Amino acid sequence: MLFNRASRNLFTGSFKRFKSTLADAGASESAFAAGAVVTTFGTYMLADFLSNFIQHPTQKMDYGYFNQFLGRPVDQNWWGTRTQHIVGVAACLAVTDHTSQHLFGKYLGRPLCFAKSPAAFVAHTFFFIFGGVAFYCAGDAALNPAHEGHREAELKSGLYSTYIGSCTAWFEPYMAPALGKVAGTAISNTWVGSALLPATLAYSTVKGVGWYDWGNSGLNDHEMKLNGLVEASEQ
């Protein structure tokens, strides 16, 4: 009986420690995943901001509330501004990016990697970009007060532009390997070379082609005023 009690206590203690270890591992994995999503979110916000300088190198952008810190008048604090786009799209893309990676990884039976599964990675790139931007367009169409009365038309237009733009981002996974050939892996393996640069260029093509957001095209009404285009067109 003493042996049975000792064995039972040993087993119970070991099982509790095992459950505790699993719980700690699960918590660590969840924390790592959350940290990765936050890092991706920050990367995509910065990429969107930088892409504006590629698409509109000489134009003044409308950053809503933050215009006051740039010496520009504020029209809308949030809705319809570049800030809304920067934060909203990055949040949606960060979620769809990591969700897609997880699903493709389960399908492949290993973490998704461009070097080992280039076709799957390119497919992942299209799906997560299309999905993320589509979610953003749906949210904007449903919640933006400026779309009142024509929300369905706005959604359809946004989804069509999303599809066109997403098709141009196929090159994103090839950017880091190409940069490695030109500048060396010391640069291509950095956060800038492997994440920020590809994302910035992808943002430029998706927005530029999907929404024809180049130069004086694709500007909102307030940006037209900021750049003196309204007065010029009225003269």
Report the distance separating Cα 191 and Cα 63, nearest Å.
26
Q: With a cut of 80, say whether residue 18 has pLDDT above it.
A: no
Distance CA 64, CA 75 (A): 7
* More confident: 235 or 16: 16
Q: What is the mean pLDDT of residues 92-114?
A: 97
Of 45, 131, 1, 208, nearest to 216 by C-alpha is 208
Tens of pLDDT along 67-90? 999 999 999 999 999 999 999 999
Q: CB-based contacts of 177: which residues, under 8 Å, 6+ apart?
A: 114, 188
pLDDT at 179 over 90: yes
CB 92 within 8 A of CB 136: yes
Q: Which residue has the higher pLDDT, 20 or 208?
A: 208
Q: How far apart are CA 166 and CA 181, in angstroms?
A: 26
149 Rama sector, left if φ>0, alpha if ψ -120 to 50, beta otherwise: left
Q: From residue 54, how far is each of 7, 35, 47, 49, 58 by CA, in Å?
A: 69, 29, 11, 10, 9
Residue 33 is predicted with a pLDDT of 80
Band the pLDDT of 32: cuts 50, 70, 90: low
Where do the domains of the chain lie? Answer: 12-234
